Amino acid sequence: MTLKHTARRRATHGTAVPTPGTPAVRAAEREVSAGPRVVPAEVARLLALADAELAQAAGAGDPADRFVHGHLAALRAAAAVVALRGRPGPRSGARTVWEMLSRVEPDLATWSVYFASGARLRAAVDAGHGEEVEAARADELVACAEDFRDEVAILVDPDAGFSRPLRLTSAAS
């Protein structure tokens, strides 16, 4: 799509055109199916774990607990994408889930960087000798984990949440 075409479309429709290649545009480009998509069992399990961690984060009063649960929710959602797309080969050099996510789904690389930056703090809090986690930082991370989980759900089933809810009915792997 050329800039001229984009400008004409904006003038005609009065809205910005989504950037090609983003998950939302790729989802719109896919054919909408009538029935729910079959979700691989491991992907469904990991998304269910992410949802459970988000529920724990929502109920946690301590900012450190909210931070840990939010980070673990994002980790589970990232693992679901890796399970869906397949692990990168050993020559890729990817060792962490965040590195693997960047390789198997480059559109989520920004999320990888964001959540990888919190991994050290989460590990320190888990070990019981982490620094104090500020409430604002914990709240931000949980909100980001919720948004990230929603993006992952769209990757798993582009129609989920729009034409129908995501149903995590797993298929035997």
pLDDT digits (tens, 9 = 90+) for 12-27: 444 343 444 555 545 5
Residues, the chain, total? 173
Look up the CATH number of the domain holding residue 55: 1.20.120
* 65 in the same domain as 11: no
pLDDT value at residue 158: 77
Contact 141, 71 (CB under 8 A): yes
Confidence label for 4 from pLDDT (cuts 50, 70 and 90): very low
Structural domain containing residue 46: 38-171
* 12 in the same domain as 93: no
Contact 82, 95 (CB under 8 A): no
Residue with tokens 């400008």: 7
* 42 in the same domain as 24: no
pLDDT value at residue 58: 94
The phi-psi region of residue 86 (left if phi > 0; otherwise alpha if psi is between -120 and 50; otherwise beta) is left
* 166 in the same domain as 111: yes
* 151 in the same domain as 105: yes
Percent of the chain at pLDDT exceeding 90: 42
Confidence label for 52 from pLDDT (cuts 50, 70 and 90): very high
* 153 in the same domain as 117: yes
Q: Which residue has the higher pLDDT, 120 or 18?
A: 120
* 129 in the same domain as 95: yes
pLDDT value at residue 75: 95
> Is the pLDDT score of 50 beyond 50?
yes
* 138 in the same domain as 82: yes
164 pairs with which residues across the strands? 160
Q: Which residue has the higher pLDDT, 165 or 101?
A: 101
* 17 in the same domain as 64: no
* 113 in the same domain as 150: yes
Please count the structural domains in the chain.
2
